[in-house]
């Protein structure tokens, strides 16, 4: 049962694209962008859809776009 739940969670991914530069915004927001692995504009990363990732997305929601 635990393996099925873990496998289901492993499939849940979210793709995040940096569409606006963090320059001129709070340093904490630049650190969040870097922590997500985003390096330059239009760079896309796929991360696990967890509450921690959703919190990071919420903090920089004006700089990124999110796709399932």
pLDDT tens per residue, range 12-52: 999 999 999 999 999 999 999 999 999 999 999 999 999 99
Evaluated on CA atoms 16, 58, 54, 30, the torsion sign reads positive
- Statement: residue 9 has pLDDT above 60: no
- Statement: residue 65 has pLDDT above 70: yes
Could you tell me the CATH superfamily of domain 2-67?
A: Ribosomal protein L30/L7 (3.30.1390.20)
Query: Hey, where are the domains in the chain?
Result: 2-67
Structure tokens at 22: 């963090």
Give one DSSP letter per residue of the chain, joined into a string: -HHHHHHHHHH-EEEEEE-S--TTS-HHHHHHHHHTT--STT-EEEEE--HHHHHHHHHTTTTEEEE-
- Statement: residue 5 has pLDDT above 70: no
| Burial zone of 7 (CB within 10 Å; 0-12 exposed, 13-18 middle, 19+ buried) | exposed
């Amino acid at each position: 049962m635990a393996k099925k739940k873990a496998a289901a969670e492993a499939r849940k991914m979210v793709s995040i694209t940096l569409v606006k530069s963090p320059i001129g915004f709070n340093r904490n927001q630049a650190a969040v962008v870097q922590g997500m692995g985003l390096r330059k504009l239009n760079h896309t990363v796929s991360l696990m859809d967890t509450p921690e990732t959703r919190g990071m997305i919420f903090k920089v929601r004006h700089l990124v776009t999110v796709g399932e």
